[in-house]
A and B are shown apart, each in its own frame.
Chain A
Amino acid sequence: KAGVTQTPRYLIKTRGQQVTLSCSPISGHRSVSWYQQTPGQGLQFLFEYFSETQRNKGNFPGRFSGRQFSNSRSEMNVSTLELGDSALYLCASSLIQGAAYEQYFGPGTRLTVT
């Protein structure tokens, strides 16, 4: 099976712009979670989607939003970018069936805000 894919891999944006990141989960996985990784804050949970519904949300401002499509692919959007949004954004997918709760991660999207 193909792994989790994320596009684009690298992105440079200017303060005030908005950005959309995409994540395609492993085939058959219906749960998609997003994380932000920075040197200062470490890995922080953004939100999780299952069957097109947001089930969990982390402590991020409303500028961070996401959605999931019927094929389980997910996008996250950040509006009005700030310098502090520069980070590695990781997407992970999970089967969430039986006892299979482990998450498998994509390679990440490196976002730089200038």
Chain B
Amino acid sequence: AQTVTQSQPEMSVQEAETVTLSCTYDTSENNYYLFWYKQPPSRQMILVIRQEAYKQQNATENRFSVNFQKAAKSFSLKISDSQLGDTAMYFCAFMALPSYGKLTFGQGTILTVHP
């Protein structure tokens, strides 16, 4: 069984600064995807970024980038130039390709961006 651990229940950052959210996972699978989702107070889950395990290059999406360390089973999210609209709960999620359609989520990190 896969497990996903987010060790930071809450984090805060000043507007325009950079923040990194941590995520580790445990799996015996070799083919998998990792995702970061954002859930603002509206509760709408929004895909932030994805990473294929077979790709060594770290994924980036505008101000969002990941640091994927496959051997260490670590998948952190860096948010640059933080904006007030980034305030949300962030979830790290894992999907093993034999079980596509099933996401395993971490417990989430509440990020607050202060003006």
Contact = CB atoms under 8 A, between A and B. Distances in A.
A33 interface: yes
Interface in A49-73: 50, 55-56, 58
Interface residues of A, number: 24
B102 A48 contact: yes
Contacts of B103: 33, 35, 43, 45, 92, 103
B30 to A, nearest CB: 15
Interface string B20-60: 00000000000001010100001111110010100000000
A31 B52 contact: no
By secondary structure, the B interface counts as: mixed
Interface stretch (B11-19, B63-71, B76-84, B91-99): B91-99
B107 interface: yes
Given A43-B91, A99-B52, A107 B100 contact: no
A58 B33 contact: no
A96 B101 contact: yes
Nearest to A48: B101
Taking each of A48, A88, A103, A108, which has the highest tally of chain B beta carbons within 10 Å of its own beta carbon? A103
A45 B104 contact: yes
A49 to B, nearest CB: 8
Nearest to B33: A101
Contacts of A105: 37, 44-46
Nearest to A32: B101
Interface of A: 31, 33, 35, 42-43, 45, 48, 50, 55-56, 58, 88, 90, 92, 94, 96, 99, 101-105, 107-108
Interface of B: 33, 35, 37, 42-47, 50, 52, 91, 95, 97, 99-108
Given A31-B100, A101-B100, A103-B35, 14 more contacts: A33-B101, A33-B103, A42-B108, A50-B101, A55-B101, A56-B99, A56-B101, A94-B100, A96-B101, A99-B52, A101-B33, A101-B97, A102-B33, A107-B42
Pairs of residues from A and B, 5 with the lowest C-beta to C-beta distance, nearest first:
A48-B101, A105-B45, A43-B105, A56-B102, A45-B102
